């Protein structure tokens, strides 16, 4: 994921899904962390619900298509 897209993605997570920056920082410190794995890491740690995970994947799909 290019840096601009990553910034937009993190902004979406914080602003639209109200995921606290501290939760994102925790997930970003995960040893296997890559932007592609971030949604699953957030879910694995219980930081997002399945509904939020669906919205994340929808956003990611839209960013690839758009």
Task: Answer yes or no: is 27 within a domain.
Answer: no
What 3-state class would DSSP assign to 35?
A: coil
Token output for 13 = 């997570």
The answer on pLDDT for 44 being more than 70 is yes
Instruction: Determine the structural domain holding residue 57 and report its residue range.
Output: 33-66
Query: What pLDDT digit, counting tens, does each position of 8-40 carry?
Result: 999 999 999 999 999 999 888 877 667 778 899
Domain for residue 17, yes or no? Answer: no
Proportion of the chain above pLDDT 90, given as a percent: 62
Domain presence at residue 42: yes
- The answer to whether residue 11 is domain-embedded is no
Residue 53 has pLDDT above 90, yes or no: yes
Instruction: Tell whether 15 is covered by a domain.
Output: no
- The residue-averaged pLDDT of 50-63 equals 94
Q: Say if 26 falls within a structural domain.
A: no
- The answer to whether the beta carbons of residues 47 and 27 sit under 8 Å apart is yes
Domain count, the chain: 1
């Amino acid at each position: 994921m290019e840096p601009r897209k990553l910034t937009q993605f993190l902004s979406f997570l914080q602003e639209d899904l109200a995921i606290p920056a501290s939760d994102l920082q925790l997930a970003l410190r995960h040893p296997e962390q890559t932007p592609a794995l971030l949604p699953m890491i957030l879910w694995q740690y219980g930081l997002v619900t399945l509904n939020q995970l669906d919205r994340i994947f929808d956003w990611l799909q839209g960013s690839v298509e758009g």
